[in-house]
């Protein structure tokens, strides 16, 4: 199994205020960027984050070779259902995505 | 005219490189700006009006910056004092400033900018439809508003400029946007507004926009067409990639940043290396809005909590831990119903399985059984007495509950005596709204003090 974390340079996630989490996928080069752009579909990310479609934004930044996803926190930061105050551990779900189709 | 802004670090309390600060000061900046807060550590700090970092850390860093300010003969601005930026934290920083000024024999003018909002003021604005929801916003009504223990408005460049106009040597501001203190002086000096806000966003986390994020100190030169950014630590470099990537950081949209009075659009920004450590940025656009709005933040007590931790090492129980928790929960709900007057909506039991899925909860995709599982039970109730009492009621069962009825009672590992830990009040964030104002200073107060200790 090949994971997304094995092909890209870096993935980080972080709160963007108490109501959003944002995930930055730094692809490292244009070839990987194009692969990620075409392979990591929005519906894959919806499934991974369990957010409704209208609560997810997708950005593709060719200059930085970054694919970015921002989505509503399903539990507001620090609320009873929240397990991760800074939202930084959710990046691991993306790092561990099975992407054998990529290579 | 151009404006040179020195940013010692992303937040007061996080530390900075003293040599880099010295180097920055030698380049004769016009102002030193540092942020003191964030919602990043959760609602407790705003809920209680308290700070995250140790008092001694604030004291030593603030002292160093107060010495730098005097050497440079320039203003020093701190915003979002004490993590949450409440009035109580502005006053707390003022007391610390007085104490340090006295020991350094400094004569200084200190401006205090207050951001607290009373429940009455915000309720009136809410009823007059002057509050607008941001996406997503918690539900709001008069009853919910009355629960907030603290409400702050985020000051923008306009309120910081008011404070600068007093001629103060030190400005201690309550809650403000991360960028406002950095953008204020360039805007006041007539530098490019797109450049002022963009440069402020790039520098708001200090050296995060460089190759050595924890070196802290950044110098930004603002002018009529954009800005130039350079880290002050010798080992750090700013590159077009390190600088432009910072627009992604903690930002929902990497091109747009909303501020009081408008928004920044960096879609057409260009990033050019001037040397191997200095980057020139141009092309960002500031789009003023018709309505002047400030963002509000609030927190409230949503319950009281007690935690009980037990460690399960028995391999059979580890393998069946989710079944065990489901069975135990069902049993406990029944037990509480029989032995107390409490109903299901009076309390909640949250089991966090450390080693299984405690960080990601339902989103966890990995299924690997560890050697042991930490079972953390969080009891939330309407007061501390109930939360503690329920935890004591649960104690023997979380210790001894069997997987099946026909086996000997197990005994798991309690690491502490008593097994439960009271967490006290539990806070939640209550607002993601903006409030429209006629004038920027409508809901902020400015106070000026002169200190003389020589």
Q: How high is the pLDDT of residue A92? A: 97
Contact of B186 with B102, CB cutoff 8 Å: no
- Note whether B209 and B242 are within 8 A (CB): yes
H helix or E strand, kind and range, residue B61: helix B55-72
The domain total for chain A is 1
Q: For the beta carbon of residue B212, count every other beta carbon within 10 angstroms.
A: 17
Test A17 with B360 for CB contact under 8 angstroms.
no
**Residue A99: predicted pLDDT:** 85
Residues 13-42 of A with CB under 8 A from B: 14-20, 22, 24, 26
Handedness of CA B167, B169, B173, B179 (dihedral sign): positive
Residues 6+ apart with CB under 8 A from B278: B228, B229, B230, B238
pLDDT at position B35 is 97
**Range(s) of the domain holding residue A93:** 2-77+84-99
Q: DSSP state, B239?
A: -
Render each residue's pLDDT in chain B as its tens digit; 454 residues.
Answer: 899 999 999 999 999 999 999 999 999 999 999 999 999 999 999 999 999 999 999 999 999 999 999 999 999 999 999 999 999 999 999 999 999 999 999 999 999 999 999 999 999 999 999 999 999 999 999 999 999 999 999 999 999 999 999 999 999 999 999 999 999 999 999 999 999 999 999 999 999 999 999 999 999 999 999 999 999 999 999 999 999 999 999 999 999 999 999 999 999 999 999 999 999 999 999 999 999 999 999 999 999 999 999 999 999 999 999 999 999 999 999 999 999 999 999 999 999 999 999 999 999 998 889 999 999 999 999 999 999 999 999 999 999 999 999 999 999 999 999 999 999 999 999 999 999 999 999 999 999 999 999 8
Report residue B360 as tokens: 């990601």
Going from N- to C-terminal start, the domains of chain B cover 3-297+431-451, 314-412
Interface of B with A (CB under 8 A): 39-44, 134, 136-138, 241, 244-245, 248-255, 302-303, 348, 350, 352, 358-363, 365-366, 380, 426-429, 432
Q: How much of chain B is helix, strand and coil, in % rounded to 5?
A: 35, 30, 35
Tokens 């350094």 sit at which residue? B104
Is the Cβ–Cβ distance between B191 and B130 less than 8 Å?
A: no
Report the distance separating Cα B134 and Cα B424, nearest Å.
30
The confidence score (pLDDT) of residue B355 equals 97
Reported as a single tens digit per residue, the pLDDT across B121-162 is 999 999 999 999 999 999 999 999 999 999 999 999 999 999
Q: Is A65 left (phi over 0), alpha (psi -120 to 50) or beta?
A: left
Under 8 Å between Cβ of B182 and B203: yes
Is-contact B181 B196, C-beta < 8 A? no
B428–A63: do the CB atoms touch at under 8 Å? no
């Amino acid at each position: 199994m090949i994971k997304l974390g094995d092909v890209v340079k870096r993935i980080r996630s972080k709160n963007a205020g108490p109501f959003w989490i944002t995930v930055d996928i730094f692809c490292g080069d244009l070839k990987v960027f194009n692969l990620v752009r075409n392979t990591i579909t929005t519906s894959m990310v919806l499934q991974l984050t369990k957010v409704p479609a209208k609560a997810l934004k997708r950005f593709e930044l060719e200059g930085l070779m970054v694919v970015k996803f921002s989505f509503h926190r399903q539990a507001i930061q620090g609320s009873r259902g929240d397990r991760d105050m800074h939202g930084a551990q959710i990046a691991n779900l993306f790092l561990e995505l099975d992407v054998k189709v990529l290579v | 005219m151009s404006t040179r802004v020195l940013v010692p670090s992303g937040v007061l309390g996080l530390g900075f490189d003293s040599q880099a600060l010295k180097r920055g000061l030698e380049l004769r900046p016009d102002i030193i700006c540092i942020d003191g807060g964030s919602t990043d550590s959760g609602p407790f700090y705003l809920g209680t009006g308290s700070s995250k970092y140790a008092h001694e850390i604030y004291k030593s860093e603030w002292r160093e910056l107060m010495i730098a300010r005097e050497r440079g003969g320039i203003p020093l601005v701190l915003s979002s004092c004490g993590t949450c930026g409440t009035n109580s934290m502005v006053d707390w920083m003022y007391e610390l400033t007085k104490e340090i000024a006295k020991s350094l024999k400094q004569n200084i003018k200190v401006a205090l900018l207050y951001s607290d909002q009373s429940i009455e003021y915000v309720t009136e604005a809410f009823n007059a439809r002057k509050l607008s929801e941001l996406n997503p916003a918690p539900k709001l009504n008069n009853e919910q508003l009355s629960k907030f223990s603290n409400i702050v408005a985020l000051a923008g460049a306009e309120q910081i400029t008011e404070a600068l106009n007093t001629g103060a040597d030190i400005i201690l501001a309550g809650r403000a946007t991360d960028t406002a203190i950095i953008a204020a002086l360039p805007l006041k000096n007539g530098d490019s507004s797109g450049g002022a806000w963009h440069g402020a966003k790039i520098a708001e986390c200090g050296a995060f926009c460089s190759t050595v994020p924890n070196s802290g100190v950044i110098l930004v030169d603002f002018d009529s067409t954009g800005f130039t950014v350079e880290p002050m630590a010798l080992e750090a470099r700013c590159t077009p990639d390190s600088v432009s990537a910072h627009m992604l950081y903690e930002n929902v949209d990497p091109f747009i940043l909303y501020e009081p009075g408008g928004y920044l659009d960096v879609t057409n920004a260009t990033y050019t290396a001037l040397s191997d450590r200095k980057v020139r940025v141009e092309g960002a656009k500031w789009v003023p809005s018709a309505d002047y709005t400030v963002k509000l933040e609030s927190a409230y007590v949503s319950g009281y909590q007690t935690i009980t931790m037990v460690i399960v090492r028995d391999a059979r129980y580890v393998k069946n831990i989710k079944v065990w928790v489901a069975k135990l929960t069902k049993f406990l709900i029944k037990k509480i119903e029989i032995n107390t007057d409490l109903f299901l909506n009076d309390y909640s039991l949250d089991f966090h399985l450390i080693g299984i899925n405690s960080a990601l909860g339902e989103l966890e995709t990995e299924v690997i059984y560890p050697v042991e599982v930490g079972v953390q039970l969080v009891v939330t109730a309407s007061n501390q007495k109930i939360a503690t009492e329920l935890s004591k009621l649960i104690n023997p069962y979380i210790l001894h509950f069997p997987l099946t009825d026909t086996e000997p009672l197990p005994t798991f590992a309690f690491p502490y005596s008593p097994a439960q830990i009271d967490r006290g009040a539990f806070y939640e964030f209550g607002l993601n709204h903006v409030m429209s104002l006629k004038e920027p200073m409508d809901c902020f107060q400015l106070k000026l003090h002169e200190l003389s200790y020589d």
